[in-house]
Structures are given as structure tokens and as C-alpha cells.
Chains A and B, each alone.
Chain A
Amino acid sequence: MSEINATMTGAHGADAGSRYHVREHHPEQGTLLGFWIYLMSDCLIFASLFATYAVLGRNYAGGPSGAELFDLKLVAINTAFLLVSSITFGFAMISAQARNLAKTQLWLAVTGILGACFLALEIYEFFHLIHEGAGPSRSGFLTAFFSLVGTHGLHVLFGTIWLVTLMFQLPKHGITPENMRRLSCLSLFWHFLDVVWIFVFTFVYLMGTLP
């Protein structure tokens, strides 16, 4: 009897439904959950920065306002970079899932380049603003703006460094479960940054440009 049971368990183990069942009872080792909780705490950092911006966003101290400073075309291009990098990262994950190292590397490279373009444009924007005399010390609005957008930019920078690190690790060890886990964490991180950017362009740039 027990033997039959055992065999049945084995047979069931093969089909997807029961694997799912097993997974539900033993949530996998906690890396992805832990990383998700980190992202949620990161959310709170951004929430406090957004709250600061909401409070200080109209304190121009006689300085320039968002409507005068922001170049929406530049922001639109930046948004496009980040959005496209999201789907190229998705392609990298799909390739990694299919254990196709070359394609994974290719899509990761494309994602990294898009991330670097985003950063380059943002650094250009920051230097342009500072050059115009609209640096972070000019007004409460600009302090809040630079802290919020700068923190997001730093996240993208670290995400890009992480991505480059993985591009060295992948060919060295192959697409092992460990590397797959790292990729999944970075995938969460990268898409999370895109989510934060939705709110940055909506609340800071678009609303800042409105009269």
C-alpha cells in the first residue's frame, strides 16, 4: 500500500500541477522573498523622497520652476530607454530560462547599454541644470528634485554594475540555478526601477510642467 502511494507520489511529481502543489507547501528558499522585502523597503525610501518632493515641490525661493527647467523631449527619450530596457531584460530572462547563454548575454548587453544611455542622459540633464544655476542648493524644489531623481539614478547605476557583474559570471559558471536566482533578483530590481520611474515622470516632470 505504502509502496503504491510512494510510486504515485513519484508519478505525480512529474506533472506540473503537483509540482506547483509541492511548491506551495514549501516556499522555496527565501532569496527571492527576501529580495522582494528589500524592494518594499526601498519603496519606502522612495515614498519619503516623493513626500519631500510633494511638500517642497513648489518652494521655488524665487528661482526657476519645473515648467521653465524641464525638457519633456529629453524625459520622453529617457522614459523610452528605461521602458525598452525592461522588455530586453525580459528577453534575457526568457533566453536564460531556455538555457541559451549566448542569447542571454546578448539581451543583457542590450539592457546594459540602454541603462547606460539612460544614465548618460540624466547626468547630462543634471549638469545642464547646475550649469544654468539651478543646482540642488538653489531652492527647496531643486533640492527635492535632485534627491529624488538622483536616488533613482543611483539605483540604475548600481543595477547596471550588477548587470555587468552577472555578464562576467554567466559565461564562467554557465546558467546554473545560482546564476538563475541572481538573474531573477536583478530582474525584480530592474523592473522595480521602471515602476519608480513611472511615478517620477508623472509626478515630477509631467505635473511639474503643467501650469
Chain B
Amino acid sequence: MSDHSIHHAHGHDALHGHTHGDEPGVHYSLKDYTTGFVLAVILTVIPFWLVMGNVLDPAMTRFVIMGFAAVQLVVHMIYFLHLNSKSEGGWNMMALILTIILLVIVLGGSIWVMYHMNANMMPGMGDAAAVTGHGNHDMQ
């Protein structure tokens, strides 16, 4: 009898787990989406305003808008993609971390290598390209 009950309980649990397994592991809440949206709008409008209004000097603007993009990435991850360290038993986060590592290698590596290649080009070649660029620039 007790054995049967256990089985029943297990069956119930399994069923319970299953129905919830079909459901997404996240709860979609209005508060999350509105918070995320308001933050995203602010983080989008400011970089556009900085560039379109020529508010800061270009070098400074570059860094500031990169910072805004990074913050907006995190906002989207948390409020729209509902990512946290516990989703899918932590595997989502693991996959993301692996991707970020690969991304840093691919992006950082390409830029690093290509920058040095440009810097080590025969003198004059880089300049020549720049000069032609300017020449045509004037023609347009």
C-alpha cells in the first residue's frame, strides 16, 4: 500500500515536473519587460544624441557609446532574454561564458593581428591609400 502511494507520488511529481518542463523555465512579467524597455530606450537615445548632436569630442564619444552598448547588452540579457545563473541548471550561463571567450579570441585576435600587419606594412603603402582616399573624397 505504502509502496503504491510512493509510486503514485512519484508519478505525480514526474507529471508535475513534465508539465513544467514543457513550460519555459522563465516567468514572463510585465514589470521585467517595462523596466528593460525603459532602460533600453535611455541607453539607446543617449548614444544617438551624443553622435548626432556632436556633444563630445569624437575620441571621447567612441568610448562612451561603447560603454553604453555594453550596459545595454547586460540590460537586454537580464530583462528580455531572462538570463540568470540558474536558468537551465546553469548551462545557459556556461554556454554564454564559452561564447564570450571565443568572441574575445576571434575579435581581439583579428583586430590585434590586422592592426600590427597594417603597422608593419612597407612605408608609404598605408599613406598612399590614405592619399588616394582623400583625392577621391574631394572629387565626390
Contact = CB atoms under 8 A, between A and B. Distances in A.
A36 B81 CA distance: 10
Interface string B1-36: 111011011101100110111111111111011101
A32 B47 CA distance: 33
A188 to B, nearest CB: 6
Nearest to B117: A55
Given A44-B103, A192-B81, A206-B47, A91 B33 contact: yes
Given A51-B107, A55-B111, A72-B51, A202 B69 contact: yes
Contacts of A51: 106-107, 110-111
Contacts of B96: 40
A111 to B, nearest CB: 13
A184 B24 CA distance: 6
* Max chain B Cβ within 10 angstroms of own Cβ: one of A7, A184, A191, A206: A206
B133 A60 contact: yes
Interface stretch (A17-25, A114-122, A123-131): A17-25
Contact of A43 (B3, B8, B89, B99): B99
A79 B46 CA distance: 13
Nearest to B16: A13
Contacts of A162: none
Nearest to A183: B24
Secondary structure call for the A interface: helix
A79 B99 contact: no
A47 B40 contact: no
A194 to B, nearest CB: 6
A73 to B, nearest CB: 8
Interface string B98-117: 11001100110011001000
Q: How large is the interface on B (under 10, 10 to 19, 20 to 34, 35 or more residues)?
A: 35 or more
A27 B89 contact: yes
Nearest to A41: B99
A65 B138 CA distance: 12
A143 interface: no
A106 B1 CA distance: 52
Given A22-B17, A83-B41, A195-B73, 14 more contacts: A7-B5, A19-B16, A22-B13, A23-B25, A43-B99, A44-B99, A51-B107, A76-B48, A83-B37, A83-B40, A87-B36, A181-B22, A202-B68, A211-B58
Interface of A: 1-3, 5-7, 9-10, 13, 19, 22-24, 26-29, 32-33, 36-37, 40, 43-44, 47-48, 50-52, 54-55, 59-60, 62-65, 68, 72, 76, 79, 83, 86-87, 90-91, 93-94, 96-97, 177-178, 180-181, 184, 188, 191-192, 194-195, 198-199, 201-203, 206-207, 209-211
Interface of B: 1-3, 5-6, 8-10, 12-13, 16-17, 19-30, 32-34, 36-37, 40-41, 44, 47-48, 51-52, 58, 61-62, 65-66, 68-69, 72-73, 76-77, 80-81, 86, 88-89, 91-92, 95-96, 98-99, 102-103, 106-107, 110-111, 114, 129, 132-133, 135-137, 140
